[in-house]
A and B are shown apart, each in its own frame.
Chain A
Amino acid sequence: MTAKDLIGVLPELILILAGIICLFSPKRQIKYLASGGLIAGLISLAWLPMGRELFFGTVKVDQFSFIFGALFMFVSLLIVLGSPDYIRGEGNETEYYSLILFATAGMTFVASAADLIALYIGFELSSLSTYALAGFFKREERSLEASIKFFVIGALSSAIALYGITLVYGAAGTMRIAELAGRLSLGGNSRLIEELGMLLILAGFGFKITAVPFHNWAPDTYEGAPTTITALLSTGSKKMGFAALFKIFLVGFIALKLHWIYLWAALALLTMTVGNLAALPQRNIKRLLAYSSIAQAGYIMIAFPVATRYALAGGIFHIITHSLMTAGAFLIVAALSSRGIGEEMEEWSGLYKRAPLLAFSMAIFLLSLAGIPPLAGFASKFVLFSSAVDAAVGPQGRGWFLWLAIIGVLNSALSFYYYARVIRQMYLVKPKDEEKIVIPFGAFLPVGLALVLVILIGLYPNPLISFGMRAAGSLFTSAPSLLPPLP
C-alpha cells in the first residue's frame, strides 16, 4: 500500500472522516459539516489517479468511477441541503447526517471497486446505513415498517448475492472482475455453477435496482421512509446497484453474454411496463414516484442487453438525469410536507397559486421524467432508446432490439398519464385554500439546483453524452480481450 493507493480512495476517506466527526459535533453545525464533507469529497475527485489499479488490484479509479462518485456525492449533497427543514424536531440529527455520509462513502466505493469482495463491502456499508435511515422517523409506524421490510428483504438479497459470488469464485478462481471475463465460460463442468452464480448475483443485486420481480419492497419502503431518504434510495442507492451490475455483467460476465442477453431484455421490458401500469392508479405522490422510479429503472436496464458503448453511455446518462429529476421531485414533496401539505394528491390542489415556484419546478421534473423535450430526461432517454435502434438496424444488428426501443417509447408515452395527473392537480384544479406557502430559501436551494441542471442538460446535453461515452469506454477497456463491438 502506498500513498497513491490512499489518494485513490480519498473521497471515501473524506466522507467517512466527516461522518465520524459529525457524531461528535454540536447539533447546530452538523448540517454544515455534512455538506462541507460532501463538497470536499467532490473536490477531491480532481486528484484521483485515473486508470490506476490500487490496493493490489481491488480498486480501480477511472472515468466510470469518477462519474458515479461525482453523482453520488452530488445527490447526497442535494439531500443534505434539503434535510434540515424536513427533519427538524425529530432529534438524533447527528446519526442522520453521519449515516448519509457513510452510505455515500459505500456507494462511491462500489463505483471504484474492481474486485467482487471490495464491491460487496461497499454495497453493504451503504445498505446498512440506508436500512437505519429508512426507519429514522421512529415514532411513525410506517417508517418502521418501511425500514423492517427494506432490511429483511435487503439482508436476504445480500446473502443471495454473496452466495452467487462464492459460486462464481469457485468456477473462475478469481475475485477480480476484469479477470472473470477471461476465465468464465471456457466450457466444461463448471458451466452450471457459473450460470447459477450469475443468476444469484442478478437476483441479489436486482433487488437494489428494483428490477421486477424483485421490486415488491420498493413502493412500501419509498412511501414509508422519510422523504429525503426516499430520495437517497431512488437516486444514490438504486444507482449504486446499477454501477455494480454494469461492472459485473458488462465486464465480468461479458463472455456469458449470450446466456443473459434475453434475460436482461425480458427484465427491462417487464420492469418498465409493470412500473408504469402500477403507477397509473396511485393517489399518493410518493408512491406514484416510487413506481415511476421502478419504470425508469426498466429504461436504464436496456443498456444491459444492447451492451454497446453507446448504450452504456445512455444508461449512465439516464442514471444521472433520473437522479436529478427524482431527487428534485422528492425534495419538493419533503419541503411541502414540512409546511403541512401532505403526500395525497388532493392536498396539492391549485398549488400553482399557493407555491408557484415549487409547482413550476415539480411540473418541469415530471415533464422531464415523461421525456418531453427539451428537458434532460428526454435527452437521456433519446440516447438510451436510440442505442437499441442502433443495435437493431446496424450492420450485424439483431432486429428484435427494435422492440426494446418501441416498447420503451410507448411506455414513456403511457407514463405521461400519471405524471400529468400530478400536474393537473397543481395547475388545473382550483385550490381549496388560497393561503401562500412560504418555503425557506435553504429548502428551495437543492430543488433549484436540480431544476437548473435539468433544464440546462436538456438544452445542451453534449458534455454529458461525451462524458458518458468516455466512462462507458473506460469500463469496457477494463476487459481488453473481450471488447464488445463499438458503435
Chain B
Amino acid sequence: MGLISISMLIPFLGALAILVLELDDKQVKRIALLATAIPAAIHLYMFARVGFAPSGYQFVESYTWIKSLGMSYRVGVDGISMPMLFLTSLLTLLVVIFSWEQKERIRQYFSLFLFLEVSLIGVFTALDLFLFYVFWEFVLVPMYFIIGIWGGPRKEYAAIKFFLYTFAGSVLMLVGFMAVYFASGTSSFDLERLIGARSAFGLTFQSLVFAALFIGFAVKMPVVPLHTWLPDAHVEAPTAGSVLLAGVLLKMGSYGLIRIAVPLLPQGAERFVPVMLAIGILSILYGAFVCLAQRDLKRLVAYSSISHMGVVLVGISTLSQLGTVGAVYMMFAHGLISAILFMSVGSIQHSVGTRIIERLGGLALKMPRVGVIITAGFLAGLGLPGMVQFAAEIPVFIATYRTFGVILALPILTVVLTAGYALWAIARAMHGPLSPLSTQAHDAPTYEFWPMLLLVILTVLFGSAPGLIMGMINHSVEAILALL
C-alpha cells in the first residue's frame, strides 16, 4: 500500500472510529485532528518530492478491481493533481481546527468531514475513469449532510438543490465515460490507455462526448448558466462546509476538464473552444457584476468564486501551455483565497451575528485580527502583485491575448471589477463608523485566527515565489498538451 492509499485510509478509519466508538467530545476532536494532520503531513512530503523532481505520474498504485469490465484501483499524482491534493488535506485540517468549538452533533460533523476528505483525495488521484467517477459522486453525500444538518435557515433546500444539480450533471458525464470505454475498444477504464486509444474516436463522437463531460464538469465549477446552486449552497452551508466547497469541490470540475476531457477528446475540445471562452467570459463578468450588488458578505464571496472560476475556464479554453498552467495555478490560488474569505466571514458571523454589509461597519476596530485577514484575502483576490492570484492571472491573460487577441479586453475587466467590489465591501464592513451591532463584536478566537493566518502566509509565499509549484504544473501540463 502506497502513500496515497494510506492518506485515504487514515481519515476513513478516523471517521469510523468516531462513529462507532463511544467517545466523549474531546476525544472525537482529537481523533479528527490526528486523522487530518497525518494526511496533510503525507501530502506535504509528496508535494516536496513531486516539486523537486516532476516526472509523469508518481506514487502510482495499481490493483485490479473489477476484472470482468476492466476497472482497476489506480491512483497517482503529477504536477496538476499535487497542488489540489495538498489543498484538500490542508484545508480539511484547517477546517477541523476552525470548528474546534462545534457543539451540535459533533460526531457526525467530524466524521462527515473525514469522509469528504477521503473522497476528495480519491477524485484528485484516481487514474481510472470508473474509480474517478465513484469518488466524484461520493463527494456529494457528505456535503449534502454537511449543508443539510448544520446549514442556515434554508439549508434543506440548498442541500437538495446542490445534490440534484451536480448529480444530474455527473450522470451525463458517466454516460460519456461509458461511450469512451466502449468506443475505444480497450476494455479498460485506465485513463492513460484510453488516451492512447483516442485515435479511434471520430470528430462527431468527440464533440458529443466532450459536450457530455463538459456539462458534468461545468456544473461543478460552476460556470454561468449552470451556477445557480452555488449561491444557495454557499450561503446556507456552515463555514467549514463553504471553505471546502469553494476551496476544493469547485476545483473538481476544472481539474476534470484538464485531466480527462481535454487530453481524451482533443478535437472535441478544439470545437468547444468558442463555447468555453464565451462561458468563461460570461461567468467572469456576471459573477463580478452580481458581487457589486450583494448585501450579504458571504453571498458576495460566493459569487466572486463564479467570477474567478471563469478565469480558470478562459485559461483552459486557450488550449495552450501558458493558459493551462495559469488555470491550474488559479485553481490553487482560489483555493487558498476563498478559504481565507469564507473563514473570516464565518468569524464575523459568529461574533457579530450577521453578515449583512450595511449592518456591519467599523468592525476593524473591534476585530483587528479578522480585519487584517479579510483585507489580505480581498487584496489577494483582486490580484495584488506579490500575492498568489496575481501569479495565476498573468499567464492566463497573456495566453488569452496570444490566442484570441483583443478579446482579452473582456476577461481582463475582472481586475477592475474585483477591485471595485472587494475594496467597497471592506470599506463598508470593516471601516467607517461603528454600527450598533458591531459594538458588541469580539475578535476571532485563537483556533479561528491561526488557520486563517497560515493561509494568508501561504498566499504571500506562493505569490512571491510561484516557482515553488509552477515548475511541477508546467511539467505536467506540457506532458498533457504534448499529446494534442
**Given A373-B137, A394-B182, A413-B164, CB of A420 within 8 Å of CB of B175:** no
Closest B residue to A487 using CB positions? B182
Among B140, B145, B178, the one with the most A-chain Cβ atoms within 10 Å of its Cβ is B178
Q: Is B124 an interface residue (CB 8 A)?
A: no
B174 touches A409 (CB 8 A): yes
**Given A373-B137, A374-B138, CB of A420 within 8 Å of CB of B182:** no
Chain B proximity mask over A456-481: 1 for CB below 8 Å, otherwise 0: 00001110011001000000000000
Chain A residues within 8 Å of B175, by CB: 385, 389, 402, 405-406, 409
| Chain A contacts with B in 347-397, Cβ cutoff 8 A | 367, 372-374, 378, 382-383, 385-386, 389-390, 392-394
B172 touches A420 (CB 8 A): no
Q: With A382-B174, A414-B168, A465-B69 given, can you name 6 additional A-B contacts, CB distance below 8 Å?
A: A373-B133, A409-B172, A413-B167, A420-B163, A466-B67, A469-B68
B149 touches A393 (CB 8 A): no
- Give CA–CA (A460, B182) in the complex, Å: 21
A-B contact pairs, 17 of them (CB 8 A): A367-B141, A372-B138, A372-B141, A373-B134, A374-B138, A382-B174, A386-B182, A389-B182, A409-B174, A409-B175, A412-B171, A427-B148, A462-B67, A462-B68, A465-B66, A465-B69, A466-B67
B148 touches A386 (CB 8 A): no
Among A460, A462, A469, the one with the most B-chain Cβ atoms within 10 Å of its Cβ is A462
**Given A409-B175, A416-B167, A417-B164, CB of A428 within 8 Å of CB of B149:** yes
Q: Is A410 an interface residue (CB 8 A)?
A: yes
**Given A374-B134, A389-B175, A389-B178, CB of A420 within 8 Å of CB of B68:** no
**Given A373-B133, A462-B66, A466-B68, CB of A420 within 8 Å of CB of B144:** yes
**Given A372-B141, A469-B68, CB of A393 within 8 Å of CB of B134:** no
Report how many residues on chain A are interfacial, defined by Cβ distance under 8 Å: 34
Q: Is A149 an interface residue (CB 8 A)?
A: no
Instruction: Give chain A nearest CB distance to B5 CB in angstroms.
Output: 15
The SS class assigned to the A binding surface is helix
Chain B residues within 8 Å of A283, by CB: none
Q: How many A-B residue pairs have CB under 8 A?
A: 86
- Give CA–CA (A128, B348) in the complex, Å: 68
- Give CA–CA (A378, B167) in the complex, Å: 13
- Give CA–CA (A114, B165) in the complex, Å: 47
- Give CA–CA (A414, B165) in the complex, Å: 10
Q: Is B384 an interface residue (CB 8 A)?
A: no
Q: Is A424 an interface residue (CB 8 A)?
A: yes
Q: Is B156 an interface residue (CB 8 A)?
A: yes
Q: A373 touches which one: B138, B156, B160 (CB < 8 A)?
A: B138
Instruction: Give chain B nearest CB distance to A282 CB in angstroms.
Output: 16
B144 touches A409 (CB 8 A): no
A465 touches B68 (CB 8 A): yes
B141 touches A420 (CB 8 A): no
Q: A420 touches which one: B67, B130, B160 (CB < 8 A)?
A: B160
A406 touches B68 (CB 8 A): no
Closest A residue to B171 using CB positions? A409
- Give CA–CA (A413, B134) in the complex, Å: 15
- Give CA–CA (A385, B145) in the complex, Å: 28
B183 touches A393 (CB 8 A): yes
Instruction: Give chain B nearest CB distance to A462 CB in angstroms.
Output: 5
| Chain B contacts with A in 104-145, Cβ cutoff 8 A | 130, 133-134, 137-138, 140-141, 144-145
Chain B residues within 8 Å of A389, by CB: 175, 178-179, 182
Q: Is B217 an interface residue (CB 8 A)?
A: no
- Give CA–CA (A394, B178) in the complex, Å: 11
Chain A residues within 8 Å of B137, by CB: 372-373, 378
Chain B residues within 8 Å of A367, by CB: 141
| Chain B contacts with A in 345-386, Cβ cutoff 8 A | none
What 10 pairs across the A-B complex have the smallest Cβ distances? Answer: A409-B171, A373-B134, A389-B178, A413-B168, A386-B178, A413-B167, A390-B182, A393-B183, A462-B66, A428-B148
Chain B residues within 8 Å of A461, by CB: 66
- Give CA–CA (A412, B205) in the complex, Å: 24
Instruction: Give chain B nearest CB distance to A479 CB in angstroms.
Output: 24
Among A378, A406, A409, the one with the most B-chain Cβ atoms within 10 Å of its Cβ is A409
A417 touches B160 (CB 8 A): yes
Chain B residues within 8 Å of A383, by CB: 69
Instruction: Give chain B nearest CB distance to A299 CB in angstroms.
Output: 13
Q: Is B332 an interface residue (CB 8 A)?
A: no
| Chain A contacts with B in 51-69, Cβ cutoff 8 A | none
Q: Is B181 an interface residue (CB 8 A)?
A: yes
Chain A residues within 8 Å of B171, by CB: 409-410, 412-413
Chain A residues within 8 Å of B172, by CB: 406, 409-410
Chain A residues within 8 Å of B67, by CB: 462, 466
B140 touches A372 (CB 8 A): yes
- Give CA–CA (A424, B68) in the complex, Å: 37
- Give CA–CA (A362, B183) in the complex, Å: 38
Instruction: Give chain B nearest CB distance to A172 CB in angstroms.
Output: 36
**Given A367-B141, A428-B148, CB of A393 within 8 Å of CB of B164:** no
Q: B205 touches which one: A393, A406, A427 (CB < 8 A)?
A: A393
Instruction: Give chain A nearest CB distance to B62 CB in angstroms.
Output: 16
B144 touches A405 (CB 8 A): no
Instruction: Give chain B nearest CB distance to A406 CB in angstroms.
Output: 6
- Give CA–CA (A469, B69) in the complex, Å: 11
- Give CA–CA (A417, B159) in the complex, Å: 11
- Give CA–CA (A191, B69) in the complex, Å: 40
Closest A residue to B167 using CB positions? A413
Closest A residue to B160 using CB positions? A420
Chain A residues within 8 Å of B138, by CB: 372-374
| Chain B contacts with A in 36-81, Cβ cutoff 8 A | 65-69
- Give CA–CA (A414, B69) in the complex, Å: 27
Chain B proximity mask over A428-466: 1 for CB below 8 Å, otherwise 0: 100000000000000000000000000000001110011
A410 touches B160 (CB 8 A): no
Instruction: Give chain B nearest CB distance to A450 CB in angstroms.
Output: 19
**Given A393-B205, A409-B172, A462-B68, CB of A428 within 8 Å of CB of B156:** yes
Chain B residues within 8 Å of A427, by CB: 145, 148-149
- Give CA–CA (A417, B163) in the complex, Å: 9
- Give CA–CA (A241, B168) in the complex, Å: 31
Chain B proximity mask over A227-246: 1 for CB below 8 Å, otherwise 0: 00000000000000000000
Instruction: Give chain B nearest CB distance to A88 CB in angstroms.
Output: 31
Chain B residues within 8 Å of A417, by CB: 160, 164
Closest B residue to A394 using CB positions? B182
B133 touches A424 (CB 8 A): no
